[in-house]
Structure 1
Amino acid sequence: MSSLSLRMAAPVLFVVLLLVATEAVTARVVSEERHCLSQSHTFKGLCFSSENCASVCKSEKFPGGQCQMHGASRKCFCKVVC
């Protein structure tokens, strides 16, 4: 290798490592977001399909929802980042 390519290798490696570290921190922050749950006000009956629950929650202006056990029955809970 020439001396020019060796001099360029260090800065390029530094930039690559910096980008990898930035992505790792960003992914960690996103994965650590907390979700608050609120029982759907319009979902009727037992919740067996999280897709249906999510659809109802979106109509209630929530970003999504999922079925969860609540006591002895499954209910639809809407999720929002809190």
Structure 2
Amino acid sequence: MLGCIYYPLYFPCVYSFWKNRAKNPCYILLIYLSLLDICILLVPTFTDGFLSLTGVAYCSLPFFNYFIGCFGCEFSLTYSRFN
């Protein structure tokens, strides 16, 4: 449930980037990376937290766990490509 801590910390940063985007073009890239990172944080924080609280293991929902893993890997690779 670390997403409950990470998301409120992200929004003031994104707002600051949005407010200063006309001053320097790098802020547009920072906004893009921030939004991408928010999407990446959604998978491990809330999905894994929910699955662990409900006691779901890989054997219970193999397709769902595989899909979530692929989704997380795709976003991680996209994030590392632009970083």
TM-score normalised over the length of structure 1: 0.34
Which protein is richer in helix relative to its size?
Answer: 2
Higher relative contact order at CA 8 Å, sep ≥6: structure 1 or structure 2?
2
Larger C-alpha radius of gyration, 1 or 2? 1
**TM-score if structure 2 supplies the norm length?**
0.33
Name whichever structure is richer in strand by fraction.
1
